[in-house]
Every structure is written in C-alpha cells, then in structure tokens.
Structure 1
Amino acid sequence: MYALLIVDVQVGLVHGQEKPWRCEALLATINELMDKARNAGAPIFLARHVGPAGSPVAPDSVLTQLAPELRLAGGEVVFEKHRPNAFTRTALAEDLRALGVTGVVIAGMKTQYCVDSTCRAARDLGFEAVLVADGHSCTDTGQMRAEQIVAHHNATLEGAFCEVVLGRDWTFK
C-alpha cells in the first residue's frame, strides 16, 4: 500500500515574498492527489517544517501553518519536522509501517531541499518512493530558475531514488 506524503505546503512558502513556480497548478495537483488517496483509502501525511519557539517559523507561527488552499478532510496525519528529510527525528517511518505502508508518493515544497532529501531517504528506509513530477515546486535562486530546478530533480531522482510520475497518471494501490 502507498501513502501520500505532502511536504511543507505551508503559508510561509506558498504565500511568501516570492511565489513558487506554478503555485496554483501545484496546489491543484496536490488536492487531486489527496482526493485520489481518500477514494482509495490510502493514508495521507502532511509535514510542517518548524523551527524553535520564538522564531519566525515557530510551531505556532502563521508561516508554518498548512496552506489554506489545501482541501483537508480531517483524516490526514499532520506532523512537525525540524530537518529537511521528513523521516529524520520524526515518527513517520514507524507510523507508515504500522499502517502497512510499503511506499510513499511524495509531493510538496521545496524541491531542492525537503522534497529531494525525503525522496532519497525513503528508499534507504525500505519504502518504495514515487515523486510526483508536477507535484513539487520552489522559487528561483541566484543560479537557476525554479522550472530548471524542478526538471533537474525529476531527472536526477528518477530511477536510483524514486519513480517519477505525473499526478494525473498516479493511481493509489
């Protein structure tokens, strides 16, 4: 069984000073994936990246809250993480195994940080990893446009680290 893992789709990244590349399309893809997961009875996990109390990204900060555009139904598991890799110092792997999950479908933000490190870690921990090619994004950097970063990671991660599929082509098993 596969679970859907949505990484860091939170107010500070979606509504920050710089808008993520293809943000509206990204949110639509993630909402469609959540609908597919619910219809198939697949678990949905949402990671929130947080920092220390009193910081701009404290757990109670509006910046770390899930983006209001996400269509949540109430059955999702929302958890906090403090490192880019969603498995590090969280109960994610144990929670997935307890549910009989053998693979994770990964979507979210930011491509070159938390999405990348989570994809790489999933296989190391024994999970099949699927990266949704149109389900992750970021903003431009001084070296590359966001579109290039996303394309680079889709190409780099495919094969050795994960399967890469378009959101419309994925079916939860």
Structure 2
Amino acid sequence: MIRKTALLVIDAQTGIIEDPSNGPVHNPAGLIQTIQHVLTEARQRSIPVLYVQDLDVAEAGEEAFAIHPAIAPLPDEPVVLKRATDSFHGTTLHEQLQANGINHLVIVGCKTEYCIDSACRKATTLGYDVTLVRDGHSTSDSAVLSGEQIIAHHNTCLHGLGNLEPFILVRHSQENVFEPTHDSYR
C-alpha cells in the first residue's frame, strides 16, 4: 500500500506549553526544539501540516490561546478548532485528511495523557497508521506522576497499540518519522 503522510500538531498552544497555573509542560524548550525540527523536515519534504487548537485553553485572541509562536503555522497550513480531547470529535479533521488521501499520521504536541493519547487511539480506529514522535509530545506533572513519567508511560503503552489493522509506532525525532515502517511489522 502506498502511504501518504501528514504531520498533526496538537494543542501546541502557549497556555499549555508555558502554563503558569499548572506548571509548564515537562521540558518545554526541548519540546519546542523537537517540534521545530519535525516541522522543518515536513515542510522541506512538502508533507502536509495540520494544527489542532483547543478552544478550552483560553479565549480566542489571548496569548494563552495562540499556537506557540516558535512553532506557529504557515498561512497555508490549516488549523482545526476542537472542544473535546479527541481531535476528530466534532471537527473536520478526518474529512480534511481523507480529502488529501492521508493514511499515515505523524503526531506531536500536548498533553500526552489527554489529547495526544486520544488522537493516536482514535486515528487507528479511523484507519490511519500513526507515528507518535517519542520526544515530540509533553505534559505537566499530575498529582501522582511527573510529566516525564507520564510521557515515558505513554511511549511504552502506545507503541504497537493497534485497532484491527492500523497501529501506532513510537519513534524518536532523529529517525525518519515521515517514512512509515508499519508494513514491515505486518
């Protein structure tokens, strides 16, 4: 099967990455650097980039609501607005991906245990193979686990998780994440 890839940047908003009320996400500078690297690779390869922006982070127009300026979309890159943790629920994301023939998603962004987890899992039930960038997602500490522990846990439990045929691979940003290797495991 021929794979057509898109990069999905989820909730990489200033109010999440730098959130002073809940503490910033784990290693915010490293997260931004990784997402910048992945964005550069995608854009150089003409891979479609789509952003998802959470409407519940802050009011539109506020700095906290904005996608972090260091990793902001280019004018031609679509931004999908959502209210649920699931980036596909009540949005046009699936339709936009289908219209472009996408069947492999590379995912980066925030927050690991909520929106990243939900998007990865839902994508597989919609027929997408997923590559989650190991060092390209983050979250803040919870009452039970540090952000670093949550990230490590999800990297472990999501790697290899599948629904029917499509499944998730977790790969480091220094690998060729845009070249899906899923078929070599089938």
* TM-score, scaled to structure 2: 0.86
CA distance in 2, matches of 1:42, 1:19: 29
The aligned counterpart of 2:36 is 31
Query: What residue identity is the alignment partner of 1:156?
Result: C
The aligned counterpart of 1:170 is 176
Count of matched residue positions in the alignment of Structure 1 and Structure 2:
169
Deviation, structure 1 residue 71: 5.0
1:85-164 to structure 2, matched below 5 A, reads: 85-161=86-162, 162-164=168-170
Deviation, structure 1 residue 63: 1.8
CA distance in 2, matches of 1:88, 1:170: 29
Query: What residue identity is the alignment partner of 2:178?
Result: F
Question: Out of 2, 5, 28, which is 1:2 matched to?
Answer: 5
CA distance in 1, matches of 2:63, 2:72: 18
1:105 is paired with a residue whose SS is strand
Tell me if structure 1 keeps the 8 A contact 2:18–2:28: no
CA distance in 2, matches of 1:85, 1:59: 20
Residues 44 and 10 of structure 1, relative CA distance in 2, 3 Å threshold = same
Deviation, structure 1 residue 171: 4.2
Q: Residue by residue, what CA displacement relative to the aligned partner does 1:73-125 show, whole Å, maximum 9, x if unpaired?
A: 32311111110011111111110111111111011000000000000000000
1:115 is paired with a residue whose SS is helix
Residues 31 and 117 of structure 1, relative CA distance in 2, 3 Å threshold = same
CA distance in 2, matches of 1:32, 1:77: 19
Q: Indicate the larger mover: 127-136 or 58-67.
A: 58-67
Tell me if structure 2 keeps the 8 A contact 1:109–1:115: yes
Higher relative contact order (CA 8 A, sep 6+): 1
Tell me if structure 2 keeps the 8 A contact 1:7–1:107: yes
CA distance in 2, matches of 1:132, 1:47: 16
Q: Residue by residue, what CA displacement relative to the aligned partner does 1:12-48 show, whole Å, maximum 9, x if unpaired?
A: 1122111111111111111111111111111001111
Deviation, structure 1 residue 145: 0.6
2:174 is paired with a residue whose SS is helix
CA distance in 2, matches of 1:98, 1:63: 31
Tell me if structure 2 keeps the 8 A contact 1:40–1:172: no
5+ residue gaps, structure 2: 163-167, 180-186
1:69 is paired with a residue whose SS is helix
CA distance in 2, matches of 1:172, 1:164: 12
Deviation, structure 1 residue 64: 1.5
Q: CA RMSD in A?
A: 1.4
Query: What residue identity is the alignment partner of 1:169?
Result: E
CA distance in 2, matches of 1:127, 1:72: 23
